[in-house]
Amino acid sequence: MRHPGPDFDAIWKETLMGFLPECLERVQSALAGRIDRSRKVRFLDKELREMMGASPRPRQHVDVLAEVPVKDPDLDWVPFHVEVQRSRVSRFAQRMLFYHAALVRRFRRPVMSLAILADPDPKWRPTGLSRGLGGISTRFEFPICKLLDFTDAELESDPNPVNLVILAERVLRRHREDPVARREGKLALFRRMAVLMRSERYDDEQRLVLTRAIDWSIPLPEAEEEIFLEQLRQQEGDSPMTYLTTFERHALRKGLEQGLEQGLEQGLEQGLKKGQQRGRKDGLREGWVEALKASALVRFPDWKPSWDRILDSMEDPDLLRVWHRLLMTAPSGREFLRSIGKRPR
């Protein structure tokens, strides 16, 4: 089975939502110092979608909007807009200005904006823009963080979980054509994560977020993945940190095997080649449905068994894979169903 390529948009969005204060500590310590960590951050996905309207979102671009409690005598919280950009684009500063102005209009209070540049071009560093005409001038500046500026040694020496996400993307980029090196790099990151996540500072959901981020960032061929899982079991045993992604992976494989077996049986009657093709498609579908059910049950306290029927009703394995990515960034079961156009009951 071909491993789907990493969806770094989903990886970064989930990382930001799971580790926003830690992200800021790594990329913008001045902003991190203003957050009141005794109170919870509330994410405003619905408000962000409403603000964006029908405008298309460019690929390789992640937006996160949050209500962030701050240490300020005059404000209890501020809207905080984070944009992760993974490729060089034109008019980036204009886009940041558009969102900043729209947020000020909507919330009628100061807004914090931040751009995280995850692209490979060391020279591209948009930090603002200025315009003037007829004696009227506008100047807008925003903080940026260029991930390329961090050395491996700096990331490895700092016990911040977000560093592991940055390092995972580097492992893939450097060893895209070398699956053995990818496996070794992935195992090294899991070892670091196992030590880091023993801290009581992090809850089970954060452990799962970090596990998924590293797992998704460094895909492996099936043979290397089996070696990796065996090495991980020898090292950590049945760690709860690896449960979800391993469970999903085996659910997919089980569906594939069952579907292919059914297809081969049908092939004896209908023609072997046609039966194999149908079996492979049915296996993909069953695999994704099982993975969706497992993920929803673990991730969403509000998930109802009756909602499984919605997942069972989808026949297209490609759409099921899209649903899986949406599920991984949804804050609740109800929001996930709404994101795929279904009405939860």
- 257 or 162, which is more confident? 162
DSSP class of residue 35? B
Task: Name the packing angle between helices 204-217 and 179-196 (round to 10°).
Answer: 170
Q: What value does the mean pLDDT take over residues 203-226?
A: 85
Q: How many CB atoms lie within 10 A of CB 208?
A: 22
Residues 185/154, Cβ–Cβ less than 8 Å: no
The mean-pLDDT minimum among 12-16, 197-201, 206-210, 215-219 falls in: 197-201
pLDDT band at 170 (very low <50, low <70, confident <90, very high): very high
Going by C-alpha positions, the residue among 210, 180, 183 that lies closest to residue 197 is 210
Bridge partner residues of 79 (DSSP): 67
Beta 112-117 vs 144-146: how paired, if at all? Answer: parallel
Res. 283: pLDDT tops 80? no
Residue type, position 247, single letter: F
